[in-house]
Amino acid sequence: MTDEGLQALIENVSLNAFGKPFIHIARFNKRLRTTGGRYMLSDHSIQINPLVLEVHGTEELVGVIKHELCHYHLHIEGRGYRHRDADFRDLLKYTGSPRFCRPLTEGNKRVHSMHVYECVSCKTLYNRRRRMNVRKYRCGKCAGQIVAIQPLK
């Protein structure tokens, strides 16, 4: 879908769901990372993350568009357009708009390698995510010397 197609879709959704026209600019923004879309207060434009369409499809895209149009129409009318405002929450319910966008990525599921250290005297094991300077620290139980063991994968 192009920016022109998105513009037409937003204008159509605005008329059907809200009964009011959308007369400003709408476009895709590839730089959005954590959100499905955003409404710009300064120029009244709406930016949509293209990943919403790629990952979740048209139905989720229409939901994000409705959410941003709630911000748009309330702000234009001078009513409460923020997430915490009662006007905004009521309009979300009335139009069937989602409060949040579904996650666009898997999230941070990176496996951290653990560094394992052992006391030479009492054999106590210490698991750490970060490396530590073994010359700077001693065992907390017996004050013995600590040595590094190979990190787990």
Question: Any idea which residues carry the catalytic annotation?
Answer: 68
Are the C-beta atoms of residues 112 and 129 closer than 8 Å to each other?
yes
For residue 68, the surrounding DSSP H or E stretch is helix 58-77
Are the C-beta atoms of residues 99 and 36 closer than 8 Å to each other?
no
Eight-class DSSP state of 145 = B
Are the C-beta atoms of residues 145 and 139 closer than 8 Å to each other?
yes
Are the C-beta atoms of residues 150 and 135 closer than 8 Å to each other?
no
